Amino acid sequence: MTKRNKWIYWISTIWLALGMVSTAAVQLFRGKTGQGGLDTIEHLGYPNYLLTILGFWKILGVIIILIPGFPLLKEWAYAGFFFVMTGAALSHIAIGDWNEIFPSMLLLVLTMLSWYFRPADRKIILLSKI
């Protein structure tokens, strides 16, 4: 892994982790304002209990992405982040809130950068047929 790729990986991963933890905190503590808070989830038409589910899994996803090992769980965490962020963006688009898609799109881009530039020891190694 080149030094440039390592920098891209760590910068995108740290920003992704900070973004996910901050939105998870708002969701878990049922914050009224902010991206993904109670007012947003009600405006989108989703049930309030979804905040707890999303917040809990975001925290676990950040932990898995940051700790060494567990490459399969890392893939699941990245996939979960991808689905949650695309779902958030598409939910805003569906109700015409085009101005509200920037935070989820930013976290989506950070997810893809972190996944793409992750070191080899954080990837699943597939064995070919012997």
In-domain check, residue 128: no
In-domain check, residue 70: yes
Q: Is the model's pLDDT at 49 over the cut of 60?
A: yes
Q: Is the model's pLDDT at 34 over the cut of 60?
A: no
**Cβ contact 52:27 at 8 Å:** yes
Q: Is the model's pLDDT at 129 over the cut of 60?
A: no
In-domain check, residue 109: yes
In-domain check, residue 16: yes
| pLDDT given for residue 127 in this prediction | 62
Give the structural domain span for 95.
Answer: 3-122
Provide the domain count of the chain.
1
